[in-house]
Amino acid sequence: MSTTTTIPAPGNLIGGAWQPAISGQTFENRNPADTDDLVAHHAASDDRDLDAAFAAASEAFPAWRRTPGIARGNILYRAAEILASRVEAIARELTREEGKTLKEATGETMRAVAILRYFAGETAQPHGEHYPSASPTTMLYTLREPLGVITIITPWNFPIAIPAWKLVPALAYGNAVVIKPASDAPLCTIRLAECLVDAGLPAGVLNVVTGSASALGDRLVTDERSVAVSFTGSDATGKHIRDLAGAHGKKVQLELGGKNPAIVLADADMDHALTQVINGAMMSTGQKCTATSRAIVDRHIVAEFTERLAQKIGALTVGNGLDGATQVGPLINAKAADSVAEQVEQARGEGTELLVGGRRLDGDHARGHFVAPALFNDVSPSSRLGQDELFGPVLGVIPVDGMDEAISVANNVRYGLSASLFTRDLTRAMRFVQEIQAGIVHVNSETAGAEPQVPFGGYKGSSSYSREQGKAAREFFTQIKTVYLDPSPS
C-alpha cells in the first residue's frame, strides 16, 4: 500500500519560522508497515539549531509569561478547533509514520484536541490561594508562575498525544518550549505546532527541533537557558536524563516503563475480561508503557481463559494500519521487531511455553516490521518475561491461587504504572485498589488509556513521582510565589 506521496516536511520551527537544519542535512522517515513508503524528510539538526531554538524561546518567554492566562487559553482553544478540523488528514499521517491503526490514530488525534480544550479551560481556573495572616494588615497569598524555558523530549509511540500533554500545559501556564520529538515519528509534533502557529501563538514561544537523540540529547538537557526537562521514553534514557538534569540543577519529570498486570479472578465476566486484556496487550502493537503484559489469572479458570486468549490472539489481523481490516499494526522499526522476536526466543529457550505468535512475519508482510501477536503460558513471575518490559505484542499468563497471591505477584516488579482487576466482588475490588502498587488503577477495564483531566503517572520505577495532565500538570509546569502584601504605613 505504498500509494501515498512523500510529505514535504517544513523542517524545524524556530522563532516562529519553519526552516531547514543549519547544516542543510535531512533524515528520512519510512512507514513501518511498508518501508517502500517514504513518509517524509526531516531536518537533521545539531547544536547550532538547538542554540537558535533556546535563544528564540528565551527571547519569547518574558512577553508570554506576562500574557494573561485567559489570552493564552484563547489561543489553545483556537488551536483545538483547528486541529479538530484536520483530524482525518493528521490521523492518516500518524498511521503512516507510526504504524498504529487508523482508528487508534484518529482516537489519539482527538485526544490531542481534548487536551488543548482542557488546558484552555484550566487557564481560567484560580492559580493561587489566599491565607489568613498573623498580621491584621497583611494580605497573604500565593501565585503560580511559569518556570521559564522547558525542554520536552517525546517518544514515537503516541506521536501527537504525548507532545500535546506535555507542551500544552507548559504553554497554558506561561512557559516557553523547545521540543524534540522522536526521530521515528516527528511529523505529528510538526502538525500540532502548525495548529498552534495558525491559532496565533507568538513567535518563539514554541520551538520544534527534529533530529537524532545522539546528536541533540545532552545539549537539550544541559543548555543553561532551559530550567526543566519533561521526558517520556525508555528507562535507560530516563536515568541518563535524570542524572544529567540533576547535575545541572534542573527540574525533571520522567515517564518510563511498565510491566502492567491484569488480574482476572474466578468470578470475573470472562468475555469482558478477555476483550479488555487483549485490547490492553495488543492495541498499539503493545508499544505503550500502559500495555498489559501480564495476565495474572486465578487457577480455577486459567485453563479456559488461556485457551480462549490463544484462540482470539491467534485470530487477530496483522497488517498496514491504513487497511480497515487491520487490528494490529507493525512495530516501529526493524530493530524493535528483531528485539521483540529475540526476547520471545529467549523466553522459549528458558522453557516457557509459547502458545501462539511471536515470529517476524514475512510473505505479504515482508516490507514491514511485523511480529505475530504472542501469548505465553505459565510464565514464571521472576523470569525475564515476567519482569522486563518487552514493548511489543506479547502477553504472558501467570496462574495464581486467589487474590492474595495475585496481588503479591502483581506488585513484585520494579515498575508500577497501571494495573487492572477483573471481578464482580466489590470487597476484593476495594482491597485491590488499596494494595496494588500502581499510579493508575482500573477495575474491570484495560490497563491502557489516559483521560486528560486526571493525573497520569506511576509508582516505583515507572515515573519520577510527578504526575502529568489534569490539575497535576500545574505542579510540574509552575512554581509558587508567596506574597505578603501590606499597605504603606504612612
Nearest distance from C-beta of residue 98 to ligand UN1, angstroms: 12
First to last CA, the chain: 80
Q: Please tell me whether residue 156 binds ligand UN1 under the rule CB under 6 A.
A: no
**How far is residue 102's CA from residue 92's CA, in Å, rounded to a whole number?**
6
Site size with ligand UN1, rule: CB under 6 A: 12
Our CB check for ligand UN1 shows the closer of 399 and 457 to be 457
- 122 has catalytic annotation: no
Q: Please tell me whether residue 112 binds ligand UN1 under the rule CB under 6 A.
A: no
Our CB check for ligand UN1 shows the closer of 128 and 449 to be 449
Residues between 214 and 243 that touch ligand UN1 (CB under 6 A): 232
- 451 has catalytic annotation: no
Crossing angle between the packed helical segments 69-85 and 102-122, to the nearest 10 degrees: 160
Interface stretch with ligand UN1, choices 121-129, 138-146, 283-291, 377-385 (CB under 6 A): 283-291
Stretch 430-449: interaction string toward ligand UN1, x if CB under 6 A: ------------------xx
Our CB check for ligand UN1 shows the closer of 106 and 232 to be 232
Catalytic residue among 255, 389, 446, 468: 255
**How far is residue 196's CA from residue 119's CA, in Å, rounded to a whole number?**
13
Among 102, 289, 361, 413, binds ligand UN1 (CB under 6 A): 289
Catalytic residue among 97, 104, 289, 389: 289
Q: Retrieve residue 59's grid coordinates.
A: 527571547
Our CB check for ligand UN1 shows the closer of 144 and 442 to be 442
Q: Please tell me whether residue 450 binds ligand UN1 under the rule CB under 6 A.
A: yes
How far is C-alpha 106 from the chain's CA centre? 16
Neighbour-count burial for 259-294, b at 16+ CB within 10 Å, e otherwise: bbbbbbbbebeeeebbebbbbbbbbbbbbbbbbbbb
Cβ proximity of 109 and 90 under 8 Å: yes
Q: Please tell me whether residue 397 binds ligand UN1 under the rule CB under 6 A.
A: no
Interface stretch with ligand UN1, choices 31-39, 205-213, 285-293, 408-416 (CB under 6 A): 285-293
Q: Please tell me whether residue 157 binds ligand UN1 under the rule CB under 6 A.
A: yes
Active site amino acids: 255, 289
Contacting residues toward ligand UN1, per CB under 6 A: 155, 157-158, 162, 232, 255, 288-290, 448-450
